[in-house]
Structure 1
Amino acid sequence: MDTPARPVASYAQRIAFVSEMAARLHRYGTTAQRLEAAITALSQRLDLECEPWSNPTGLILSFSDPGKPLGSTDTTRVIRLAPGENDLQKLCEADRIAEAVASGQMSIAQGHTALRSLDRAVSTRTRVMQVLAFGLAAAAVAGLWRLPWLDIGTAGVAGVLIGVLDQYTSARPGLKEAAEALAGLLAGVLATLVAVLVAPLNLNTVVIASLVALLPGMAITNAMNELSSQHWVSGTVRFAGALTTVMKLTVGAMIAVQLLGVLGLQPEVRASRPQPDWVEWAAILLAAFSFAVLFKARRRDYPWVMGAAIAGYLIARYAGQAWGSPAGIFLSALALTAAGNGFGRWIQRPGALIRLPGIIMLVPGSASLRGLLTLVQQQDVDAGQSALLVVTNIVLALVAGLLFGNLLIPARKNL
């Protein structure tokens, strides 16, 4: 007996599905060039012509039906969106749904239902894991920098408190704009109080480690990647947003130090990194796990995410020791980008599972925040120029690695 033919979706239904998919990919942190390529490919498989235009705060999608006279079916959707946040689990699920609909395994209506199921409320357990991951990431990064145990503990406690603050401000639009400044204030107050009341700290380094989950290093890298792929509007806006985030974090931290200084509390600062090698190795594992949680990966994907993060760090570390830090970052970004593209080709899942965690510990977020803190504290333009040069070298090496990694193994899956 023949199987009944699947009903053909209407033009309006196909447009609605592609628009919903585009908005979700944007929401899950996809960069402009990858989002536009993915939506163009999906539209073609659904017998649509689509000209997408993406920027960090919205989408413009122009549709037409290739089977109808030119201009008779033109439809434009303008979608206003908040800047996206990396969510690997939902990104992978959206990619699976898009593939199922495009191949005919799901109808458009079933695809819409599957997409809406991604909007289920976040469980309390997941929220707790996210908060703990803030603290674990902060402590792990402090361990990677071989700071003393007091510094590591202070960074971890501050990270947990910042995670609680992040959960609180995320649900309150009135506070969300000031979230980064409040986080910087909290990290600065706690680190300064410990340095005054307990023992000296590597003050700036502890503050930076505490804020590691909020640093916009990935945004800076994505911005330069978009600019290099000629998505100039999106890249410029994303870069401006990243700089604004760095400034908010700096303002918060400096207010904390100045406020406590007015109260007569002057922190004692030291420069000490006494930890043995095993602390760094343990910190790598903890950092990889914390980033898997922060990127909201599915539990079964943790080995992929953690393996990529560890590999990216180790390639950069050992290649950097041999040929200099920029060369190490370049080779690491190249290897992980190529590996992500290969993962998409042969495993048929988004390469972002490998690419994003692989470069997360290479991005220049900590260097940019350290440079701005030094500039504001010392009021020295030369110090600021030196920090800018460090950030520029990191960004150039990263972008070069991303570009040549895409040449080494071209991406088959756009995500």
Structure 2
Amino acid sequence: MDQLEFIQIRRFILKLGKMLHKYGSPSFRLEAYLIEIATHFGLHASFNSTPTTLSIVLWSDHHEEEYNHSARMQPGDLDMNSLSRTDELAYELLSGDISLAEANMRLDKINIMPSPYGKSLTGIAFGLSTSAFAMLMGAGWSEIIYSGLLGLMVYFWTLWAFSSKRMSLMLEPLASFSVGFVACAINHYSSSGFNIWLIILSSLIILVPGLSLTMGLAELSSRNMVSGTARIMDAIMQLFKLYFGAFLGVSLGYQLFGQQDLAIAVTLPVWVNWLGVLLLSIGLVAIFRTRIKHVPWAMTSTFIAYATSTWSSGYLENGLGAFVGAFALGVFANLFSRIVNAPSTIVAMHGLIVLVPGSKTYIGLNSFISGQDIIKTDHIGQETFLILMSLVAGLIFANVVMPTRKSL
């Protein structure tokens, strides 16, 4: 391998690795995928990925050419559209359909590609998803409506954070503070009372890091100790910031509007839960930037995860139904990868949203500090821990039964 060819290959691998990191790929999947790419080009490679760093070492057979690179990275956000297109491009390159130079040019175009759904649809998706989550939490109709409206307010804070670095550091506490304060104001002037903390949780659910907690445990189970620990600690800090902001907003609201009791919502029919799953699956399409051709698969994964976990919960106690849900979801996602030739992550993340216990962690934190229960639950800490373990175990078992076609 001559020096010019080595330079072209390592530039492509470096750019590919940074882009996949940017799209929120777990470290163990990202590293395995990049090793496959480097091996195809006849290079030896070593990669080390964490939520904030990416290190790459490449060398030829007899060490005629060597290269190492270490970059400080920002934690990635899920972008299934760019992830899918990047994987397609890499597949075309490895199949010989495009040249390395063309692949580099197309990577640059993908890297600056905006969301296919635009800001307006994404904002509607925020409101839709927060209302849908309120349905799954057993909220009443007024709480469902207010959760959606406050979810739109959270989206405006999120838009500001995208364009301001200072705002991005304050997003969680500022968004939760405003939601908590406005929820108190609405409850004070509303003719019928409602559960303030349930509305706050539903409105902030997009920011609650339950998915990061699950990904961190998955990385720890794959022996990626540094990345897994960093991701879990980052998720815990996000959770603390969210709760502190909400607690501060509610405390100020109580000072201005008076202490308000938590009202119990009227129990809605069971079909409302399924409506919530449908609306949540639709909202996640825009939030995760899922490609149109993958939307039916993504929405199906949400229903599979919810249906199997709900059904099995009737036979298994203490949240172990999440194991069955994660197992069914993992098998379906890997089957999708084999049929469509796309990363299983594209549909797996949609289903995991209805399984991850981020909301339960938030509920437990609120019960511990304020002494008030958002919803009536027993042994919330034990159930949260078991759900987390069940999710990781379910996905591992699924990979054994139905191996994925791709590392991503």
With structure 2 as the length reference, what TM-score do the two structures score? 0.94
Match of 1:348 among 323, 341, 346: 341
Verify the 8 A CA contact 1:187 1:207 in the aligned structure 2: yes
Equivalences for 1:72-111 in 2 at 5 Å?
Answer: 72-111=64-103
| Per-residue Cα deviation, 1:205-236 (whole angstroms, up to 9, x for no partner) | 11111111111111000000000110000000
Equivalences for 1:46-65 in 2 at 5 Å?
Answer: 46-65=41-60
What is the alpha-carbon distance in structure 2 between the residues aligned to residue 273 and residue 368 of structure 1? 24
What is the alpha-carbon distance in structure 1 between the residues aligned to residue 175 and residue 237 of structure 2? 14
Verify the 8 A CA contact 1:195 1:268 in the aligned structure 2: no
Report the CA distance between 1:401 and its aligned residue.
0.5
Structure 1 residues 46 and 343: CA distance shift in structure 2, 3 A: same
Is 2:161 the counterpart of 1:172?
no
SS at match of 2:78: coil
What is the alpha-carbon distance in structure 2 between the residues aligned to residue 48 and residue 87 of structure 1? 29
Report what 2:10 is aligned to: 15
What is the alpha-carbon distance in structure 2 between the residues aligned to residue 94 and residue 9 of structure 1? 24
Structure 1 residues 245 and 323: CA distance shift in structure 2, 3 A: same
The amino acid across from 1:41 in the alignment is E
Equivalences for 1:3-402 in 2 at 5 Å?
Answer: 10-66=5-61, 69-70=62-63, 72-120=64-112, 122=114, 126-198=118-190, 199-324=192-317, 326-378=319-371, 386-402=379-395
Structure 1 residues 9 and 277: CA distance shift in structure 2, 3 A: farther
Report the CA distance between 1:384 and its aligned residue.
12
| Per-residue Cα deviation, 1:256-313 (whole angstroms, up to 9, x for no partner) | 0111222243223112242112322221111110111111101222111111111111
The amino acid across from 1:211 in the alignment is L
Structure 1 residues 305 and 390: CA distance shift in structure 2, 3 A: same
What is the alpha-carbon distance in structure 1 between the residues aligned to residue 164 and residue 345 of structure 2? 30
What is the alpha-carbon distance in structure 1 between the residues aligned to residue 20 and residue 115 of structure 2? 22
Report the CA distance between 1:120 and its aligned residue.
3.4
With structure 1 as the length reference, what TM-score do the two structures score? 0.93
Verify the 8 A CA contact 2:184 2:254 in the aligned structure 1: no
The amino acid across from 2:388 in the alignment is V
Report the CA distance between 1:342 and its aligned residue.
2.1
The amino acid across from 1:150 in the alignment is S
| Per-residue Cα deviation, 1:42-94 (whole angstroms, up to 9, x for no partner) | 1111121110100001100000012xx23x42210112210011111110101
Report what 1:409 is aligned to: 402
**Which segments of 5 or more consecutive residues in structure 2 lack a partner in the other structure?**
none
Verify the 8 A CA contact 2:334 2:402 in the aligned structure 1: yes
What is the alpha-carbon distance in structure 1 between the residues aligned to residue 221 and residue 57 of structure 2? 24
SS at match of 2:406: coil
The amino acid across from 2:30 in the alignment is L
What is the alpha-carbon distance in structure 1 between the residues aligned to residue 337 and residue 198 of structure 2? 37
Structure 1 residues 17 and 282: CA distance shift in structure 2, 3 A: same
What is the alpha-carbon distance in structure 2 between the residues aligned to residue 9 and residue 222 of structure 1? 38
The amino acid across from 2:52 in the alignment is T
The amino acid across from 1:43 in the alignment is A
| Per-residue Cα deviation, 1:135-174 (whole angstroms, up to 9, x for no partner) | 1101011112231111001100000110111011111001
What is the alpha-carbon distance in structure 1 between the residues aligned to residue 51 and residue 120 of structure 2? 28
Identity across the alignment (%):
28
What is the alpha-carbon distance in structure 2 between the residues aligned to residue 119 and residue 75 of structure 1? 24
What is the alpha-carbon distance in structure 2 between the residues aligned to residue 331 and residue 125 of structure 1? 33
Structure 1 residues 391 and 121: CA distance shift in structure 2, 3 A: same
Equivalent pairs, count: 404
SS at match of 1:373: helix
| Per-residue Cα deviation, 1:366-415 (whole angstroms, up to 9, x for no partner) | 011111122221299xx999433222111011111011111111222011
Report what 1:3 is aligned to: none
What is the alpha-carbon distance in structure 1 between the residues aligned to residue 110 and residue 157 of structure 2? 25
Structure 1 residues 348 and 9: CA distance shift in structure 2, 3 A: farther
Report the CA distance between 1:113 and its aligned residue.
0.9
Structure 1 residues 124 and 351: CA distance shift in structure 2, 3 A: closer
Structure 1 residues 8 and 315: CA distance shift in structure 2, 3 A: farther
The amino acid across from 2:161 in the alignment is T
The amino acid across from 2:251 in the alignment is Q
Q: RMSD value over aligned CA atoms? A: 2.1
What is the alpha-carbon distance in structure 1 between the residues aligned to residue 377 and residue 6 of structure 2? 55
Verify the 8 A CA contact 2:82 2:113 in the aligned structure 1: no
Verify the 8 A CA contact 2:116 2:289 in the aligned structure 1: no
The amino acid across from 1:101 in the alignment is L
